[in-house]
Amino acid sequence: MKLSEMKQILTERQVQLTRSLGQNFLHDRNQLERIVDAAQLRPTDRVLEIGPGLGPLTELLMRDAGEVLAIEKDQRLVNILRERFTRAEDRKGSRLTPAATRIGNLELVHADALEYLKERQNWGDWKLVSNLPYSVGSRIFVELAGMVEAPQLVVATLQLEVVRRLISGAGEDDYGLLSVLMQLRYEPVGNFRIPASCFFPEPEIDSACITLRRRAEPLLPLSAESTFVRVVKQAFSQRRKMMFKLLKQSWPEQAVAEAFSQAGLSPTIRAEAVSLQQFVELTRILV
Q: What is the mean pLDDT of the chain?
A: 92
Strands 186-194 and 153-159: unpaired
- Strand, helix or coil for residue 98: coil
Residues in the chain: 287
Q: Where are the domains of the chain?
A: 3-214, 222-286
| Cβ-proximal residues to 221 (8 Å cutoff; 6+ apart), any chain | none
* Percentage of residues in the chain having pLDDT higher than 90: 82
Backbone φ, ψ for residue 43 (5° rounding): -60, -15
Quote the CA–CA distance of 115 and 130 in Å, as a whole number.
17
Of the candidates 65, 78, 80, 73, the residue with the CA atom closest to the CA atom of residue 21: 73
Q: Which amino acid is at 18?
A: T
Beta bridge partners of 129: 155
- Strand, helix or coil for residue 5: helix
Quote the CA–CA distance of 236 and 246 in Å, as a whole number.
9
Beta bridge partners of 40: none
Interval 134-177: pLDDT, tens: 888 899 998 888 888 999 999 999 999 999 999 999 999 999 99
| Cβ-proximal residues to 73 (8 Å cutoff; 6+ apart), any chain | 21, 51, 110, 111, 112, 113, 133
Superfamily of domain 3-214: Vaccinia Virus protein VP39 (3.40.50.150)
- Strand, helix or coil for residue 117: helix
> Looking at the predicted structure, is the pLDDT value of residue 199 above 60?
yes
Superfamily of domain 222-286: rRNA adenine dimethylase, C-terminal domain (1.10.8.100)
Interval 26-70: pLDDT, tens: 999 999 999 999 999 999 999 999 999 999 999 999 999 999 999
What are the CA-CA distances from residue 154 to residues 70, 141, 185, 228, 239 (Å)? 15, 10, 11, 22, 28
| Cβ-proximal residues to 198 (8 Å cutoff; 6+ apart), any chain | 26, 27, 28, 31
* Percentage of residues in the chain having pLDDT higher than 70: 96
Confidence band, pLDDT 50/70/90 cuts, at residue 120: confident
